[in-house]
Amino acid sequence: MNFDLSDDQKMLAEQANKLLAEVSTPDRLRQLIDEKADYDQVLWQNLAELGFLGAAIPEEFGGIGMSAMELAVVAEEVGRYNAAIPFVSSVVQAAKIIELAGTQKQKETWLPRIASGEIIATLSTHEGAGDMQSPPLPQCRLDSNGLSGKKLPVADGHYAHLAVVTCQHQGKLALALVDLTQDGIQKTQLSSFDELRPFAQLSFDQTPAELLELDDCDSQQALYKTLNYAAAIIALEQIGGTETCLYMARDYSLERQIFGRKLGSYQAIKHKLAQVYVKLEIARSNAMYATWCLANNASDTGEAIAVSRLSALDAFETAARENLQVHGGIGYTFEANCHFYYRRERLLAGLLGGKSLWSDKLINAVKAA
Where are the chain's structural domains?
A: 7-115, 121-211, 219-368
How far apart CA 177 and CA 98 sit, in angstroms, is 9
Residue 179, Cβ neighbours under 10 Å: how many? 14
Rounded CA gap, 196 and 38, in Å? 8
pLDDT for residue 134 = 57
Q: How far apart are CA 253 and CA 258, in angstroms?
A: 10
Cα separation, 237 vs 349, whole angstroms: 12
In sequence order, the 6+-apart residues with CB closer than 8 A to the CB of 120 are 44, 86, 89, 90, 114, 156, 159, 160, 161, 162
What's the whole-number mean pLDDT along residues 143-164?
96
Contact 24, 81 (CB under 8 A): yes
- The band of 218, judged by pLDDT with boundaries at 50, 70 and 90, is confident
Residue 132 has pLDDT above 70, yes or no: no
Give residue-wise pLDDT tens across range 328-340: 999 999 999 999 9
CB atoms within 10 A of CB 266: 14
- Report the distance separating Cα 248 and Cα 57, nearest Å: 34
Per-residue model confidence (pLDDT) at position 2: 63
Q: Kindly give the pairing relationship between strand 162-169 and strand 186-190.
A: unpaired
On the question of pLDDT at 216 being above 60, the answer is no
Q: Which pairs with CB-CB distance under 8 Å and at least 24 residues apart come from 301-304?
A: 301/228, 302/228, 302/361, 302/365, 303/362, 303/365, 303/366, 303/369, 304/232
The reply to whether the predicted model has a pTM over 0.85 is: yes
Residue 301 is predicted with a pLDDT of: 93
Assess contact for 177 and 157: CB atoms under 8 A.
no
The neighbour count for residue 264, using CB atoms within 10 Å, is 17
Cis peptide before 153 (omega within 30 of 0): yes
Is residue 70 within 8 Å of residue 55, measured between CB atoms?
yes
Partners of 258 in beta bridges: 261
pLDDT value for 133: 54
Question: For 121-211, CATH number?
Answer: 2.40.110.10
Could you tell me the fold of the domain covering 7-115? Butyryl-Coa Dehydrogenase, subunit A; domain 1 (1.10.540)
Whether 100 contacts 226, CB under 8 Å: yes
Q: Which amino acid is at 179?
A: D
CA distance 116 to 99: 16
pLDDT of residue 359: 95
pLDDT value for 6: 85
Domains 7-115 and 121-211 alike in fold: no
Q: What class has domain 219-368?
A: mainly alpha
Count of alpha carbons within 13 angstroms of residue 80, beta-carbon side: 21
Cα 186 to the center of its chain, rounded Å: 25
The whole-angstrom separation of Cα 84 and Cα 100 is 27
What mean pLDDT, rounded, does the chain reach?
A: 93
Q: What is the pLDDT of residues 51-82, one digit of tens each?
A: 999 999 999 999 999 999 999 999 999 999 99
First to last CA, the chain: 21
Q: How confident is the model at residue 131 (pLDDT cuts 50, 70, 90)?
A: low
Average the pLDDT over 279-305 and give the result: 94
Segment 302-356, tens digit of pLDDT: 999 999 999 999 999 999 999 999 999 999 999 999 999 999 999 999 999 889 9
Range of lowest pLDDT (187-191, 196-200, 256-260, 365-369): 365-369
Q: Is the dihedral of CA 359, 362, 123, 50 positive or negative?
A: positive
